[in-house]
Amino acid sequence: MLQSDFFRCRATITRRFPVLTFRAEAATSNSITVESSVLLSIVRHTSENYPSLYSGALLGFEDDEGSIDVTHAYPFPYPDQYEGGSFKSRSGSKYQQDVITNLKKLDYGVDFQGWFQSTISGNFVTSQLVEGLAQQQLQNKNAFILVHNMSSIGKQLEVKGYRLSLNFMQAYVDGKWKSKDLEQNKLSFLNIFDELTINIHNQHLINLYLSTSAAKDGSINPETEVLNLSSNEANTAQLLESLYSQIDAYNYDQNNFNYYQRQYQKEYSKIANWKQQRKLENLEREKAGQPPLDIDEWKSTYKLPTEPPRFNNMLHSHSIDVFADDILKKCDEELTKSFAIERKLTSN
């Protein structure tokens, strides 16, 4: 669904069902405990299917201390065409519900807690993913998403937990994305998401798995290699291509906004001149003892253009910010290697 279609559908639903109101609520849990088996399952599944994008449901429960425990992960049985594409699909929802139903038949006391999603750096920030997560957070304020960044730097895995911020949810419920609305909600591309604390239960099992996966001759075992996607030589080039794509999308959206500003300024100048002229006419009429003319008559002649939503602009800006950070990390890594080699050569 295109972004413009989404806003039209949202407005239609609001008109037809005015009694349905939503309210953004602050989350009560900012900590996630993930079983090591769940994390390995997520990373292995997304890595083996690279470069295809995969997502899935995370099941578990909230403990008495307010922390969310993730005990099961079930990937959707098909790849995503884009990040977040499965979150709102009927087939994805049915598969997710079937899994929960079958587990409850086996007396597993688990509920849906969130999703996981594979991504390449900042590509996960899409309208589909944000829309799906926002709808879920309206039903469960503690819903979240785990993002496995498959362009992670070095051998360290990069899995982060995100939840849409309360500022964003307030703007989402209002359905207003103009500049003044974003300023009122204190919302920008920097605070779309809240990053959550992730605790790994039995992390020593992951360390043991990685340490025992090395081959006897010291080379990297293929089982471990799927976890080290940074070995892909085209990784940096892929990051740059994705960054260029996001910049193109941002420029397209920004050009539309700049056009709106130019048109607004033109119409505003015309209206200001009209008001000044009407003020002078009323002064002349007052001197002649005639009633003044309506000073708001300009509204039937001129119409200020409508500001386009800044929703896409925020998402593109956030993606560019994430891509830039990852590329800088890549540069830092290469510079460190270069300095180490230079020192090694000069010392000899």
Amino acid identity, residue 204? H
Mean pLDDT of 212-233: 44
Whether the per-residue pLDDT at 268 is higher than 90: the answer is yes
Whether the per-residue pLDDT at 229 is higher than 50: the answer is no
Task: Provide the β-strand partners of residue 112.
Answer: 59
% the chain with pLDDT above 90: 32
Banded pLDDT at 143 (limits 50, 70, 90): very high
Contact 73, 55 (CB under 8 A): no
Whether the per-residue pLDDT at 191 is higher than 90: the answer is yes
Q: Which CATH fold topology does 3-232 show? A: Cytidine Deaminase; domain 2 (3.40.140)
pLDDT tens for each residue of 281-308: 999 988 888 898 888 888 888 889 999 9
Whether the per-residue pLDDT at 234 is higher than 60: the answer is no
CA angle, 24 then 92 then 104, to 5°? 85
Residues in the chain: 348
Q: Where are the domains of the chain?
A: 3-232, 249-347
Mean pLDDT of 330-337: 68
pLDDT tens for each residue of 42-83: 888 887 877 778 888 999 888 777 788 999 998 888 877 777
Banded pLDDT at 23 (limits 50, 70, 90): confident
> What pLDDT score does 91 carry?
79
**59 CB burial (10 A radius; 0-12, 13-18, 19+):** buried
Mean pLDDT of 225-240: 58
pLDDT tens for each residue of 192-206: 999 998 888 776 666
Average pLDDT, the chain: 80
> What pLDDT score does 264 carry?
94
In this structure, what are the phi and psi dihedrals at residue 332, rounded to the nearest 5 degrees? -60, -40
d(CA 319, CA 317): 5
CA atoms within a 13 Å half-sphere pointing along the CA-CB vector of 1: 17
Considering 25-29, 236-240, 263-267, the range whose residues carry the highest mean pLDDT is 263-267
Amino acid identity, residue 337? K
What pTM was estimated for this model as a whole?
0.77
% the chain with pLDDT above 70: 78
